[in-house]
């Protein structure tokens, strides 16, 4: 728990080129430390050491430990939002965007599953982060629902519900099969998730 002043804003904005690099070193070092030690044992001392930095310098850039975690989490969140945007921005049938989106989500997580687990499950998520999280999720659901509604090959009964289920399935199964070692390679996993969600969507056809 942070004992210091509240807030997660950066303490000072770097002006010299040197300090920009230092900030980057802290963030990437923190990613390594959190992934290896988890949240609780990922101490600020360790993060500073991993960044090749003194503890005092670290606190020139971040007001507290959680602020570093927030930066990491937000980066992942924005990456995800971008991927969703890229897959769902233009209208096209689910047959096209479903495999693409699944593959993108898996790719985003295959990178460093343990870190994501720490960021979004183990660590405490500040309200600010949670709000953005929900927003990205809600946007994705609404966009996907719209695509389903105008899908010429697919007539699902309740697009909102179907979209939520499909997106939840993609993300949940991705988390599950990348975090623990279930020896399911990326290609097979993508295949299985696409099979499952496609089958589901086809079952949700409106009876006519």
Residues interacting with a copy of itself, by CB under 8 A? 1, 38, 40-41, 117, 121-122, 124, 161, 164-165, 168-169, 171-173, 175-177, 182, 192, 195-200, 202-204
The residue from 12, 180, 182, 188 that contacts DNA (CB under 7 A) is: 12
Binding partner at 204 among a copy of itself, DNA, none, C-beta below 5 to 8 Å by kind: a copy of itself
Total Cβ atoms within 10 A of residue 62: 24
Quote the CA–CA distance of 72 and 124 in Å, as a whole number: 13
Q: Is 195 in the site for DNA (CB under 7 A)?
A: no
**Which alpha helices (H) appear in the chain, and where do they start and end?**
17-37, 44-50, 55-61, 65-88, 94-110, 113-117, 127-149, 159-179, 186-203
* Shortest Cβ 118–DNA spacing (Å): 13
Judge contact between 14 and 20, C-beta under 8 A: yes
Binding track, positions 19-48, relative to DNA; x by CB under 7 A: x--x------------------xxxxx---
SS3 state at 205: strand
> How far lies 39's CA from each of 14, 97, 111, 112, 202, in Å?
26, 35, 19, 15, 41
Binding partner at 199 among DNA, a copy of itself, none, C-beta below 5 to 8 Å by kind: a copy of itself
Q: Is 102 in the site for DNA (CB under 7 A)?
A: no
For DNA, the binding residues (CB under 7 A) are 1-5, 12, 14-19, 22, 41-45, 53-57, 59-61, 63-66
């Amino acid at each position: 728990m942070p004992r210091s002043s509240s807030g997660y804003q950066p303490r000072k904005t770097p002006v010299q080129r040197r300090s920009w690099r230092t900030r980057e070193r802290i963030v990437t070092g923190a990613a390594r430390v959190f992934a290896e030690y988890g949240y609780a044992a990922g101490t600020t001392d360790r993060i500073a050491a991993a960044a090749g930095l003194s503890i005092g310098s670290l606190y020139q850039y971040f007001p507290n430990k959680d602020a570093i975690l927030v930066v990491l989490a937000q980066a992942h969140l924005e990456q995800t939002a971008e991927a969703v945007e890229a897959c769902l921005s233009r209208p096209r049938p689910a047959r096209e965007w479903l495999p693409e989106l699944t593959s993108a989500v898996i790719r985003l997580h295959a990178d460093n599953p343990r870190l994501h687990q720490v960021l979004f499950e183990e660590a405490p998520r500040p309200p600010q982060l949670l709000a953005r999280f929900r927003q990205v999720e809600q946007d994705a659901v609404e966009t996907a629902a719209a695509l389903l509604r105008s899908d010429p090959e697919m007539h699902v009964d309740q697009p909102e519900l179907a979209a939520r289920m499909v997106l939840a399935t993609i993300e949940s199964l991705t988390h599950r099969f990348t975090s623990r070692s279930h020896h399911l390679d990326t290609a097979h996993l993508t295949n299985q998730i696409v099979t499952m969600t496609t089958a589901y969507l086809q079952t949700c056809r409106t009876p006519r």
